[in-house]
Structure 1
């Protein structure tokens, strides 16, 4: 869903400070930058230079002097005036370093961090306090600093044949004019945060999103930075890093003392940490302020300096009665870093343009070079160690029914500072822009399309049903869909009809359902289906088939069975962090190929089955949000699990035989900020009893029996065995594993940027009672099946090329028969 959450940021194009000082702190001898130097104004405000020694100080009123200190260096001070555009501060080294801190004979920074780790249990509010609750106010803006943008109107000379003419470029001027008046995007929210029995929950009491009557809920649920600084993993912008105070932190980080400073009147060590591996361009680094008496964190700055410049700042207040520091404020910021390619974040709709061009010349700066995202959160009204019962603790974020209808007096109560003129104009400007450009309806349209539906008034047409092809039906032409909220919020009708040009048969489905509980999004319904399905294919009822313009694998499948089914079902999210379907079905099956099933000497060419099925998807590490319109997964985390159990009911409605099926799947995925991705998939299945071949396992083959490699070229699937021939293997029990690692796209030529993916797949299986299955010749997977290959995806306009090789015990005698060359296609919807 994050693919569309920020779509509107650039459909529309920090509070501007009254006084600003920019500069850099350097070593006076080597001229090297000094990261995280302490800067103090003459009226006591304290700031820190960044990882490159640079500082950008903004205050509401002017100051005349700035004091700079850095441990091991002599302090310095400079006079400030309005004429200072950029200040370079040089510090000279002291002869005796680290006299301020002496802790034994060890590197003092390491000794202090050891104390921090040893005292985490006593300093972590989520362990020290039995419960707590507080209110928080958050403001998130996408904006730019007007002072950074040149207002010059450029003249560009353009050659055309023998003539030369001038083209006026006023984009910077227009952008500065806009950003002086308003932000590009703005949202506010007020929340009640509760903690008890190791559960942390946010209840959104009020939310206000510029331009939208109903906010985009996924934006409200973004976890931009960790709440706790004491967890072993620290999360910054959807990526988890080993924390600098994890129990094994010393294997990943180097530590250095920078200074000793006062934080809220208590002396603290400033300790700089940096990832040891220089190859990690996006490694975590920053500064920890350590209370000298309790060794608790009194402030923290976490930073990723790479293709994006991402920073998270945590500030705390000291609670003397509990002797701990409690989080009181968070700041999160994203600006463009050093990157050669276009960078898309949060699903691909905030974009920072790349620096390179075909001629390798530095391009002109665009709007994205000036824009940044800034989020500020302030906590207040803290109460702790009181009896507290959290309702529905498995819901991470819950939105109050009245949250989107709060009057202005509500916001005036909770805002820490009144809105300045830019923020006020942002609401007015974006409200009119969103209405004028119909952005809400376009977002609704985008949500539907990305899930495979085309909204048509009160009916959403299913794009999957329009057109497909396979070797049995030929061209399958159809129409289908489901009614939407405009028809009814508590009742829906869905169905489809299709016709195969090769088999000359109509297929159809009709289902009716009604919602019985809004909170758990529970629906009860019934359906009738007359259709065909690939034999021995495993599908989980709870998993919705992903939307594809084309589905390549079924093109070459010839073996199907017809099924006519009556079913009734309950679909619910009642169990925490799960989605499930409970189904009873009566089905008549007719194989559409030469097959007989032998059960106790009786040969079945068609059969009747009455089954009970439960299909469940469990995402224990994901976070969920309860909105007024239903429950959504706001933070998709891995691993995820799927279970399915099917049991025939032998004494009900002429059931022909008895069996049980157990299916299991787990998937893991890790994305990296540099564009790489690793994914793992494990599947297993077990069928017990008298199970016909139509309902066994084939482990998704995707190769056709043609003479040459070229003749076997088709489109590759997502998890299919590309070198395994159709109907080559069947199993009553199997285990399947897939490994994929995708690298960052590489520019070969202009518009040619392939994505290299390494793939390995393997499977083992067995066939019990093979004598029952008469008609098809097949092999078993008891010796295992292995294939590996590479995918060069998106070489040009979404088209790619893949190559796989079959090896191991089931390798074929001819070398060329073990090779599969396939085409791939990735469709970018731009959402």
Structure 2
């Protein structure tokens, strides 16, 4: 997915192919007329964009084009292949063109109301009980050579009167030479779509990706545009917008009836919709073609114009037998819009022209100004009411095992037309380049580094284990890793060793795993660990590994317990939309601080714990993909829920205590079109029975018990109480709530654009049987704990600053003791 973002951000659109004409349609005041209809003498048609510009493919036999726009006189223009650009001015009429006026209101709103009212009768996913079809998709990143100057520029600089330096810039020439022979990127896929019982699943039968023997599955799963035009939220380039035909669409959009157009022999209303808000990025703009008889969508053009100029086109075919418009083709284009700031990404710079302003000098065009991304899909073999048997309906996408190994005869069978010479050369040249430059291997290396691993032969070294720091161990130096597919695809060995410079002790782990079932990523694992752990910390076994170059919170932790643990577990994704772990463990625990656990008068300074644990994360709204290498979550959606239950096993392997723990967590995230984001986290736990303080709850404190604010400055944690002192509170049961709202980045200076985040945290808890815990002084959360703060992240080079304030029943007497100032660092890889 990150690679795809890079490709699409880097390339833009500028089309001027052979037998293509372009131009602009304005009114008499030189104001552009968006979505005017342009029809050729052969009855081919297109529409102008939001700026009144158009692009039209013509044949040598085309003699004229007709431009029409509601409220304006129609104009006929003679054309020829010798002339490429046409500026057309239309004259406004005093009398409007014929409109369907049902009431005194805007006729477009009357039509829209009927569209919304009839959505269930026109939406194939609602009207049809089942259907299936195949789809061929081709995606290219390319450019039109004719649009590139291709000159070799030279500049001369004089070092002194006798010597001169000549600089030669041949980048445009080389780029034109390359793009004349091949596309920059190309991928194809053949999919089978099946719908039954309100479930739509895509099965990818074949896939080809230039430069890759095995395709990049993140690119295949990337959602360019919504499949259904009738959803309340329309998705364009993985951003969801309120649909122009949603039940509340009139709140966000204004509508105008432009014209009537015949599609498939049926008359349709051409309705322009535009976002009411002044900020263009907050909504869509485009045209809906509405069947005048049943008020179904017969064609739709969706567009977002901002830093990226993105459009999605949906074309439908009318099916008389089913009395429904069924989608036949989709087109997706992405272009570079206007922005005052260039974007730096993966070591390269995407340059932008600023918005029009006084004294603006356009920059010299570069290669990325002449390229574009285009994805086209066409559907065929459409069958209705077949009630197909859908295997694993919880999966959104399934990629067949042999999808990337299909012969050329397979592709010839399904392609709408044979690949042209340029497309054929693209596969040959990029495949050759990929081998020479080891692109596939380098991409795999980048993926692993992002996740915190460095592959060295058959072993992936764990970058998290190299060095860290805490108050107990001092500098923790180590080495760890796990075997990769070069060692074995069904068996793995992992482990690490570490040494603390302050405590002078070695820690280590050794484990192994065997793959039981590939489709569901089911593994059987065993391990032995001798290490230390923060007391009363809460961890969920199913939480994903998060790699950070540094982990700031443990730096100031002093209170740990030592443990030696044997574990055996099964991890699997066999239950739809979940990942689960069932684990048995036997652990010897020794607190490394002054503590005794009092059980029936007996004081334990160390103890044995034999437990069974079940942990599961459930993401009911996420989409999952089945690939030949396993099952992955392709579209992370919220809310998501995590549950964990731990039960001690009395009288098993010398277990000392009888207890149970229940932990839960639910997360919610909402992103807004204006760049803001809200995060909610609700977490809690309850410990029942006889359980030492080492395995209770501390609610993640992250503050030093020092005299002044300056002395307490540390790095902020992820979901921790920044004003709560270490070991200040302990609980046998608790509930924690966190609210974060991130505003769009604000410009203070040219290179200072911090991200402002508002944070509020609160927790409640209590301690049962406090007499059992000897040697520790602590407080309880019966009256609750509250803090709020402001974070200014990424102020400069990833560095940020935050301030937090503690209030409520547990507020301290001195005002300054309730304040915490924290540093933050966000590593920006430009992904």
Q: Under a length normalisation based on structure 1, what TM-score does the superposition of the two structures give? A: 0.95
The alpha-carbon distance between structure 1 residues 494 and 623, as it changes in their structure 2 partners (threshold 3 A), is: same
The alpha-carbon distance between structure 1 residues 774 and 672, as it changes in their structure 2 partners (threshold 3 A), is: same
**Which residue of structure 1 aligns with residue 527 of structure 2?**
527
Cα distance in 2 for residues equivalent to 1:741 and 1:72 = 46
**Which residue of structure 1 aligns with residue 152 of structure 2?**
153
In the alignment, structure 1 residue 90 sits paired with structure 2 residue 83 = no
**Which residue of structure 2 aligns with residue 706 of structure 1?**
706
Q: Counterparts in 2 of 1:184-333, with a 5 A limit?
A: 184-333=184-333
Cα offsets for 1:27-62 (capped at 9, x unmatched):
22x322111111111101110111111111134656
Q: Report how many aligned residue pairs link the two structures.
A: 826
**Which residue of structure 2 aligns with residue 139 of structure 1?**
138
Is the Cα contact below 8 Å between 2:479 and 2:497 reproduced in 1?
yes
The alpha-carbon distance between structure 1 residues 365 and 776, as it changes in their structure 2 partners (threshold 3 A), is: farther
**Which residue of structure 2 aligns with residue 38 of structure 1?**
37
Cα displacement (A) at 1:228: 0.7
**Which residue of structure 2 aligns with residue 56 of structure 1?**
55
Is the Cα contact below 8 Å between 2:273 and 2:285 reproduced in 1?
yes
Cα distance in 2 for residues equivalent to 1:154 and 1:320 = 60
Is the Cα contact below 8 Å between 1:12 and 1:433 reproduced in 2?
no
**Which residue of structure 2 aligns with residue 397 of structure 1?**
397
Cα displacement (A) at 1:17: 4.0
Cα offsets for 1:793-821 (capped at 9, x unmatched):
23333222222222232222222212222
Is the Cα contact below 8 Å between 1:6 and 1:349 reproduced in 2?
no
Cα distance in 1 for residues equivalent to 2:347 and 2:628 = 26
**Which residue of structure 1 aligns with residue 502 of structure 2?**
502
In the alignment, structure 1 residue 442 sits paired with structure 2 residue 403 = no
| Secondary structure, aligned partner of 1:425 | helix
Cα distance in 2 for residues equivalent to 1:622 and 1:166 = 57
The alpha-carbon distance between structure 1 residues 51 and 636, as it changes in their structure 2 partners (threshold 3 A), is: same
Cα displacement (A) at 1:349: 9.5
Cα displacement (A) at 1:672: 5.2
Cα displacement (A) at 1:177: 2.4
The alpha-carbon distance between structure 1 residues 790 and 154, as it changes in their structure 2 partners (threshold 3 A), is: farther
In the alignment, structure 1 residue 353 sits paired with structure 2 residue 351 = yes
The alpha-carbon distance between structure 1 residues 486 and 9, as it changes in their structure 2 partners (threshold 3 A), is: farther
The alpha-carbon distance between structure 1 residues 349 and 78, as it changes in their structure 2 partners (threshold 3 A), is: farther
Q: What is the root-mean-square deviation of aligned Cα atoms in Å? A: 2.4
In the alignment, structure 1 residue 726 sits paired with structure 2 residue 708 = no
The alpha-carbon distance between structure 1 residues 232 and 747, as it changes in their structure 2 partners (threshold 3 A), is: closer
**Which residue of structure 1 aligns with residue 581 of structure 2?**
581
Cα distance in 1 for residues equivalent to 2:363 and 2:815 = 50
Residue range with higher mean Cα deviation, 369-378 or 291-300? 369-378
Cα offsets for 1:322-351 (capped at 9, x unmatched):
110001111111111122234589xx7997
Cα displacement (A) at 1:743: 3.7
Cα displacement (A) at 1:410: 1.4
| Secondary structure, aligned partner of 1:446 | helix
**Which residue of structure 1 aligns with residue 742 of structure 2?**
742
Cα distance in 2 for residues equivalent to 1:411 and 1:150 = 36
Cα distance in 2 for residues equivalent to 1:607 and 1:73 = 88
Is the Cα contact below 8 Å between 1:233 and 1:243 reproduced in 2?
yes
**Which residue of structure 2 aligns with residue 515 of structure 1?**
515
Is the Cα contact below 8 Å between 2:3 and 2:219 reproduced in 1?
no
**Which residue of structure 2 aligns with residue 129 of structure 1?**
128
Q: Counterparts in 2 of 1:350-499, with a 5 A limit?
A: 352-355=350-353, 362-499=362-499
| Secondary structure, aligned partner of 1:77 | strand
In the alignment, structure 1 residue 785 sits paired with structure 2 residue 785 = yes
Q: Under a length normalisation based on structure 2, what TM-score does the superposition of the two structures give? A: 0.95
Residue range with higher mean Cα deviation, 256-265 or 752-761? 752-761
Cα distance in 1 for residues equivalent to 2:182 and 2:57 = 18
Give the ranges of 4+ consecutive aligned residues of structure 1 lying more than 6 Å apart after TM superposition.
Answer: 8-16, 161-164, 348-351
Is the Cα contact below 8 Å between 2:194 and 2:390 reproduced in 1?
yes
Residue range with higher mean Cα deviation, 795-804 or 72-81? 795-804
Cα distance in 2 for residues equivalent to 1:793 and 1:445 = 29
Cα displacement (A) at 1:671: 4.1
Cα distance in 2 for residues equivalent to 1:328 and 1:13 = 26
Is the Cα contact below 8 Å between 2:12 and 2:336 reproduced in 1?
no
| Secondary structure, aligned partner of 2:411 | helix
Cα displacement (A) at 1:7: 5.7
Cα distance in 2 for residues equivalent to 1:596 and 1:530 = 21
Cα distance in 2 for residues equivalent to 1:767 and 1:638 = 32
| Secondary structure, aligned partner of 2:281 | coil
Residue range with higher mean Cα deviation, 227-236 or 632-641? 632-641
Return 5+ residue gaps in structure 2 as ranges.
none
Residue range with higher mean Cα deviation, 740-749 or 17-26? 740-749
**Which residue of structure 2 aligns with residue 116 of structure 1?**
115
The alpha-carbon distance between structure 1 residues 212 and 287, as it changes in their structure 2 partners (threshold 3 A), is: same
Residue range with higher mean Cα deviation, 669-678 or 204-213? 669-678
**Which residue of structure 1 aligns with residue 762 of structure 2?**
762
Is the Cα contact below 8 Å between 2:702 and 2:717 reproduced in 1?
yes
Cα distance in 2 for residues equivalent to 1:781 and 1:90 = 73
Cα distance in 2 for residues equivalent to 1:730 and 1:390 = 50
Cα offsets for 1:101-152 (capped at 9, x unmatched):
2222221111111111111111111111111111100000112233333333
Cα offsets for 1:306-325 (capped at 9, x unmatched):
22111110000000011100
**Which residue of structure 1 aligns with residue 657 of structure 2?**
657
Is the Cα contact below 8 Å between 2:343 and 2:350 reproduced in 1?
yes
**Which residue of structure 2 aligns with residue 171 of structure 1?**
171
Cα offsets for 1:241-288 (capped at 9, x unmatched):
121111122222111101110112110001111122223534112111
The alpha-carbon distance between structure 1 residues 812 and 667, as it changes in their structure 2 partners (threshold 3 A), is: same
Cα offsets for 1:390-434 (capped at 9, x unmatched):
000111111111111111121111111222222122112211111
Cα displacement (A) at 1:677: 3.6
Cα distance in 2 for residues equivalent to 1:7 and 1:401 = 28
Cα distance in 2 for residues equivalent to 1:351 and 1:669 = 31
The alpha-carbon distance between structure 1 residues 792 and 490, as it changes in their structure 2 partners (threshold 3 A), is: same
Residue range with higher mean Cα deviation, 451-460 or 771-780? 771-780
Is the Cα contact below 8 Å between 1:282 and 1:307 reproduced in 2?
no
Is the Cα contact below 8 Å between 2:141 and 2:372 reproduced in 1?
yes
**Which residue of structure 1 aligns with residue 827 of structure 2?**
827
Cα displacement (A) at 1:441: 0.7
The alpha-carbon distance between structure 1 residues 350 and 253, as it changes in their structure 2 partners (threshold 3 A), is: farther
Cα displacement (A) at 1:668: 2.5
Cα distance in 2 for residues equivalent to 1:239 and 1:193 = 23
Cα distance in 2 for residues equivalent to 1:621 and 1:98 = 47
**Which residue of structure 2 aligns with residue 772 of structure 1?**
772
Cα displacement (A) at 1:165: 4.8
Cα offsets for 1:651-694 (capped at 9, x unmatched):
32232222221212222334456654433222222222222211
Cα displacement (A) at 1:488: 0.8
The alpha-carbon distance between structure 1 residues 787 and 150, as it changes in their structure 2 partners (threshold 3 A), is: farther
Cα distance in 2 for residues equivalent to 1:517 and 1:617 = 19
**Which residue of structure 2 aligns with residue 668 of structure 1?**
668
The alpha-carbon distance between structure 1 residues 659 and 625, as it changes in their structure 2 partners (threshold 3 A), is: same
Is the Cα contact below 8 Å between 1:352 and 1:369 reproduced in 2?
no
| Secondary structure, aligned partner of 2:662 | strand
Is the Cα contact below 8 Å between 1:758 and 1:790 reproduced in 2?
yes
